[in-house]
């Protein structure tokens, strides 16, 4: 009986362990709980010390400021645009001779129409019938440049090309080469003068039928625009101003109604 009791006691030891082991487990459990409580306390303390701010109100204020700044910017732009329109209207209302007071227009017989039709004072125009750039020396173009040099204009507008249609025999490359030399001459003589080059005006269907070389004018203008970019001068395209009813009998020259629009195009190009 004693021996059997020992065996039972041994089984109980194996199942539940000794008191020492139970104490060890209990201590570990208590320690874990304490650690968790301490960690939780630290987290709570940190949150209390650093409360999360409510950014809703701040965001709202930022949005209001952005809207206010945007509105202020829009108002400023509107004011500037209004002032610009007023200045533009004032500029356009000034007499042509006043707007071109420090400028000269050089060209051929089409250019002569500026003063012949009373659009611009003759003192602002230097033009010769038959003037061209292909034979600049022979047709008086270089002489006009020398006269312009004496006047020392701030702006110089060139209007050549119609006579060059025949002079260059319809060859746009020959025309462009001649114009390039004229521009070089002007830049050397008047380095501080701003130069503007008017396009060659298109001829009427009648003129093209009579001389097919006039049909090459679009190519002339293409080459001329390239030369202007190369020489750093402003190219002014007046093609859109030409109307069928503006053509003179020769299909080349323009009626008086063409000239006001042309003058305005030149003035806008030079901000006059």
In the predicted structure, residue 3 carries a pLDDT above the cut 80: no
Q: What is the pTM of this model?
A: 0.69
In the predicted structure, residue 86 carries a pLDDT above the cut 50: yes
In the predicted structure, residue 51 carries a pLDDT above the cut 50: yes
In the predicted structure, residue 73 carries a pLDDT above the cut 50: yes
In the predicted structure, residue 55 carries a pLDDT above the cut 80: no
pLDDT top residue among 4 and 185: 185
Q: What is the C-alpha to C-alpha distance for residues 35 and 133, in angstroms, rounded to an integer?
A: 99
In the predicted structure, residue 176 carries a pLDDT above the cut 60: yes
The residue assigned the tokens 């065996």 is 7
Q: What is the pLDDT of residue 23?
A: 64
CATH number, domain 96-269: 3.40.50.1110
Q: What is the pLDDT of residue 154?
A: 97
pLDDT > 90 fraction of the chain, expressed in percent and rounded? 66
Confidence of residue 109 (pLDDT cuts 50, 70, 90): very high
Confidence of residue 92 (pLDDT cuts 50, 70, 90): confident
Q: What is the C-alpha to C-alpha distance for residues 121 and 140, in angstroms, rounded to an integer?
A: 21
Least confident stretch, 13-22, 102-111, 192-201: 13-22
Q: What is the C-alpha to C-alpha distance for residues 54 and 61, in angstroms, rounded to an integer?
A: 13
Burial of 12 per CB tally in 10 Å (0-12, 13-18, 19+): exposed
- Return mean pLDDT, the chain: 84
CB 131 within 8 A of CB 139: yes
pLDDT in tens, 138-173: 999 999 999 999 999 999 999 999 999 999 999 999
Residue 245 DSSP class:
G
pLDDT top residue among 80 and 47: 80
Q: Which letter, b or e, does each residue of 187-223 get, where b requires 16 or more Cβ atoms within 10 Å of its Cβ?
A: eeebeebebbbbbbbbbbeebbeeeebbbbbebbbeb
Q: What is the C-alpha to C-alpha distance for residues 181 and 151, in angstroms, rounded to an integer?
A: 21
Q: What is the pLDDT of residue 15?
A: 43
Q: What is the C-alpha to C-alpha distance for residues 227 and 181, in angstroms, rounded to an integer?
A: 10
């Amino acid at each position: 009986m004693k021996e059997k009791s020992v065996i039972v006691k041994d089984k109980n030891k194996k199942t539940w362990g000794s008191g020492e082991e139970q104490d060890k487990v209990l201590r570990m459990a208590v320690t874990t709980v304490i650690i968790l409580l301490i960690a939780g306390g630290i987290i709570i303390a940190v949150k209390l010390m650093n409360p999360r701010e409510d950014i809703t109100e701040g965001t709202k204020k930022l949005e209001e400021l952005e809207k206010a700044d945007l509105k202020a910017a829009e108002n400023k732009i509107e004011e500037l645009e209004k002032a610009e329109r007023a200045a533009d209207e004032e500029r356009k209302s000034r007499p042509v001779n006043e707007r071109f007071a420090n400028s000269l227009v050089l060209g051929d017989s089409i250019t002569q129409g500026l003063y012949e039709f009373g659009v611009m004072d003759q003192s602002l125009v230097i033009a010769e019938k038959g003037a061209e750039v292909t034979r600049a020396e022979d047709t008086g173009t270089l002489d006009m440049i020398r006269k312009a040099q004496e006047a020392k204009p701030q702006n110089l507008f060139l209007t050549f090309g119609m006579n060059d249609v025949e002079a260059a025999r319809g060859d746009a490359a020959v025309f462009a080469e001649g114009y390039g030399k004229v521009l070089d001459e002007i830049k050397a003589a008047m380095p501080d003068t701003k130069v503007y080059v008017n396009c060659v005006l298109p001829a009427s269907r009648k003129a093209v039928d009579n001389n097919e070389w006039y049909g090459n004018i679009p190519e002339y203008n293409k080459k001329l625009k390239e030369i202007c970019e190369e020489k750093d001068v402003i190219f002014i395209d007046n093609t859109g101003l030409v109307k069928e009813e503006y053509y003179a009998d020769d299909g080349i020259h323009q009626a008086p109604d063409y000239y006001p629009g042309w003058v305005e195009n030149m003035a806008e190009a030079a901000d006059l």
